[in-house]
Amino acid sequence: MRHPGEIAVQARAGVREPGAFGSSRTRPEIPEVAAAFLGEQRLLVAGAADDLGQVWADVLTGPPGFATAADDRTITVRALPAAPLRDLFTAERDLGLLAIEPHTRRRMRVNGTAVRAGDSLVIWTEQVYANCPKHIQTREPTAPPGIPAVAGDGTAFTPRHVEWIESADTFFIATRAEGLGADVSHRGGNPGFVRVTGPASLEFPDYPGNSMFMTLGNLELDPAAGLLFVDWTRGQTLHLTGRAEVDWSGEGRVVRFELTAYTHMEGTVGAGWTPPGLHRFNPPVTR
């Protein structure tokens, strides 16, 4: 199915043949190499909308083998998100999934639908594809996750969150479009590439990528977005939900995000990851 949001954004960005590539050009089958990669992973990022239409990004973690391809259209993940997506999959709903291996800069994306089966998620794939390693910082875990627990929630950033966000070199963004599914994507850059602009707002540059514009294409149709920041040292995650819009007026695209609510979790990922190796193509940060 052609994605009108992606086509509109590709045309605005000057892509020569809008709609020639993007989500409509992906395949639903899981290639053998992708299935093997998935089975090696310890960290997945998931994105979905709740019953209010708010979009959230969350993490799924486990030992290698906790995520497996049962067949060429089905993935079983033997873990559940801790929050805020934990209770959403009692019935089938759209899900975006990202398997990312930071130390090798490899990643694959899966979009489809998912439902809870006991302590697992069963995912039926609609789009399966790989992305390039651009802007992924290398790092490896040195300890397993702890016991997930809510450390706080609210509607405006705390000073701790401001420091966390503005020192980040990585975050994840989840989006969705009615009838076209959910998606979750990686964003990376040098520390400082994300800037807090107010008590409940931030912005970040949209660096040139593969011109599929799946995130911006969804935002063209629905501004709901979920952002996920990981504190790799403390093993904590910050989940933001709100609305995002793209500013095309400058030399480069800028995405501005307005916070509706956040959930701060601890114990969701392992603490004490190795120091990051910044990608050599990260643009310099300017203020």
Q: So where are the chain's domains?
A: 4-266
pLDDT band at 23 (very low <50, low <70, confident <90, very high): confident
Q: What is the DSSP string of 37-98?
A: HHHT-SEEEEEEE-TTS-EEEEEEE-STTSEEEEETTEEEES----SSSTTSTTS-EEEEEE
Fold of 4-266: Pnp Oxidase; Chain A (2.30.110)
pLDDT at 256 over 80: yes
pLDDT in the model for residue 48? 98
Instruction: Average the pLDDT over 138-144 and give the result.
Output: 95
Q: Look at the pTM and tell me if it is higher than 0.95.
A: yes
Encode pLDDT of 72-125 as tens digits.
999 999 999 988 898 899 999 999 999 999 999 999 999 999 999 999 999 999
Confidence of residue 21 (pLDDT cuts 50, 70, 90): confident
Counting DSSP H helices and E strands in the chain, the numbers are: 4, 15
- Side-chain half-sphere of 243: how many Cα atoms within 13 Å? 7
The predicted model gives 236-260 an average pLDDT of 96
Estimate the share of the chain in helix, then strand, then coil, as percent rounded to the nearest 5: 15, 45, 45
Question: Would you say 122 and 115 are in contact if contact means Cβ atoms under 8 Å apart?
Answer: yes
CB-side exposure of 171: number of CA atoms within 13 Å? 29
235 pLDDT exceeds 80? yes
What is the SS3 string spanning 153-202? EECCCCHHHHHHHHCCCEEEEEEEECCCEEEEEEEECCCCCCEEEECCEE
